[in-house]
């Protein structure tokens, strides 16, 4: 599917202010969690992203009512009536996060049938840990013809140890456990800020979740969940993308509507390269006016360096002073962007989970493709600093995670437009 391209010229250092939107990776699980409730939930600061629209369509398909209230600037979801407990392949295939409706539907209706989410550019992305959690809570799971069924008259609290702190598995199991009989403990779970936001949303609806944001979360099941108003946390990955772009272009920008605590790993790494960062409670100023020092990065579950900022940070390292080693430990195949970087003159050698990046003095504009949403954002950063003109195609990937990214970059002085 080819819908449009970005044409980007070499641009002056980025300057000015950019306001960050609500977090994509927080609003998606929260929209799924609304299926657990009996009354209207109103979500504020919902980012207008294609992933949000796809999930909204899926929720309506299974019977929820949704409404964008332009006056109150919120998305309301009412899930009293669930008419279907299965979703069709093309919608779930479009977006893996659709799998997050499994836990809520299983807990609310006692049965669910979903297509197994396919892999994508960054890896096979199995859901075995999600299913392990559901079966530990007494669900009967079966898989055939590319679908997975789960059935349980009433889920029972369980003690679950996750082999890997999977974000999605942690979220799916927490959601299922809110209506289970008894207490569920999840150990070695993910502690991303998005897990805390989901837990705060569910507790506002009457759930009893403790420990979100740590390695162990405890959920006491309750009879039913009500509605609530909830403001989604700012998107730390969008914020990090603009912070890196400012550093890479030797610019000076202020990023507003952020939670500095969520950006600690990226702030630390940027400072290591010599970038100046000034923090205040809701905004951060990033400025750079010198050589970018080469540094090593290793992606890890939170609070380690986020996998989602690996590609954007590699853009900056592509023309840093020296050799950097980028190690991707979260996904098994998240270097698809390296081929596109090399078309622009980057000097990168991949050795299984690591990429050795030798900084070059100059990148050159080229025709490149966005292979996933974060790789697409990284190519924009490359294009801003490269000599000449760059054409990025397959930009629908970028629209999944960044709302009208070109408007925000244009306001900072970038020379780019969408065709």
Catalytic residue numbers read 120
- Exposed, middle or buried, 199 (CB in 10 Å: 0-12/13-18/19+)? buried
Q: Is 22 in the site for ligand EPZ (CB under 6 A)?
A: no
- What is the total count of residues that contact ligand EPZ (CB under 6 A)? 26
- Tell the smallest beta-carbon distance from residue 163 to ligand EPZ (Å): 8
Q: Is 129 in the site for ligand EPZ (CB under 6 A)?
A: yes
Q: Is 379 in the site for ligand EPZ (CB under 6 A)?
A: no
Q: Is 308 in the site for ligand EPZ (CB under 6 A)?
A: yes
Q: Is 167 in the site for ligand EPZ (CB under 6 A)?
A: yes
CB closer to ligand EPZ, 319 vs 369: 369
- Tell the smallest beta-carbon distance from residue 134 to ligand EPZ (Å): 11
- Tell the smallest beta-carbon distance from residue 121 to ligand EPZ (Å): 10
CB closer to ligand EPZ, 48 vs 332: 332
CB closer to ligand EPZ, 130 vs 262: 130
* Site residues (CB under 6 A) for ligand EPZ, limited to 316-355: 330-332
CB closer to ligand EPZ, 30 vs 294: 30
Q: Is 126 in the site for ligand EPZ (CB under 6 A)?
A: yes
d(CA 48, CA 32): 16
Measure CA 155 to chain center.
28
Q: Is 181 in the site for ligand EPZ (CB under 6 A)?
A: no
Strand partners, 280: 283
Q: Is 66 in the site for ligand EPZ (CB under 6 A)?
A: no
- Tell the smallest beta-carbon distance from residue 401 to ligand EPZ (Å): 5
Q: Is 304 in the site for ligand EPZ (CB under 6 A)?
A: no
d(CA 200, CA 193): 11
Q: Is 143 in the site for ligand EPZ (CB under 6 A)?
A: no
CB closer to ligand EPZ, 78 vs 238: 238
CB closer to ligand EPZ, 219 vs 370: 370
Q: Is 373 in the site for ligand EPZ (CB under 6 A)?
A: yes
**Site residues (vs ligand EPZ, CB under 6 A):** 24-25, 28, 96-97, 123, 125-130, 164, 166-169, 190, 307-308, 330-332, 373-374, 401
């Amino acid at each position: 599917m080819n819908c449009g391209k970005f044409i980007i010229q070499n641009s002056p250092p980025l300057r000015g202010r950019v306001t960050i939107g609500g977090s994509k990776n927080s609003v998606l699980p929260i929209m799924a969690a609304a299926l657990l409730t009996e009354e209207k939930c109103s979500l504020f600061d919902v980012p207008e992203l294609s992933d949000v629209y796809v999930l909204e369509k899926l929720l309506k398909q299974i019977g929820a009512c949704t409404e964008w209230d332009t006056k109150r600037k919120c998305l309301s979801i009412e899930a009293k009536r669930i008419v279907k407990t299965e979703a069709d392949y093309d919608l779930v295939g479009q977006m893996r996060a659709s799998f997050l409706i499994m836990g809520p539907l299983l807990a609310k209706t006692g049965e669910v049938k979903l297509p197994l989410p396919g892999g994508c550019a960054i890896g096979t992305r199995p859901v075995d840990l999600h299913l392990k959690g559901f079966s530990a809570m007494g669900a009967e799971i079966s898989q055939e013809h590319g679908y997975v069924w789960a059935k349980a008259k009433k889920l029972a609290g369980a003690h679950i140890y996750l082999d890997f702190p999977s974000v999605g598995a942690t979220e799916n199991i927490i959601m299922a456990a809110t209506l289970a009989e008894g207490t569920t403990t999840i150990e070695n779970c993910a502690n991303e800020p998005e897990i805390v936001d989901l837990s705060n949303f569910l507790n506002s609806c009457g759930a009893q979740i403790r420990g979100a944001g740590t390695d162990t979360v405890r959920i006491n099941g309750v009879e039913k969940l009500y509605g609530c108003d909830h403001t989604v946390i700012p998107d730390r990955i969008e914020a990090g993308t603009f912070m890196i772009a400012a550093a890479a272009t030797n610019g000076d920008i202020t990023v507003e509507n952020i939670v500095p605590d969520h950006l600690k790993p990226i702030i630390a790494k940027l400072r290591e390269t010599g970038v100046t960062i000034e923090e205040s409670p809701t905004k951060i100023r990033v400025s750079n006016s010198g050589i970018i020092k080469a540094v090593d990065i290793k992606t890890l579950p939170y609070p380690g360096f986020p996998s989602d900022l690996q590609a954007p940070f590699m853009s900056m390292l592509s023309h840093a002073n020296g050799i950097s080693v980028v190690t991707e430990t979260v996904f098994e195949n998240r270097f698809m962007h390296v081929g596109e970087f090399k078309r622009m003159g980057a000097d990168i050698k991949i050795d299984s989970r690591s990429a050795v990046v030798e900084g070059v003095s100059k990148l050159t504009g080229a025709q490149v493709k966005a292979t996933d949403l974060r790789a697409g954002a990284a190519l924009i950063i490359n294009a801003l600093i490269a000599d000449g003109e760059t054409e990025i195609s397959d930009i629908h990937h970028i629209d999944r995670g960044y709302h009208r990214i070109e408007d925000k970059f244009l306001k900072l002085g970038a020379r780019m437009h969408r065709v």
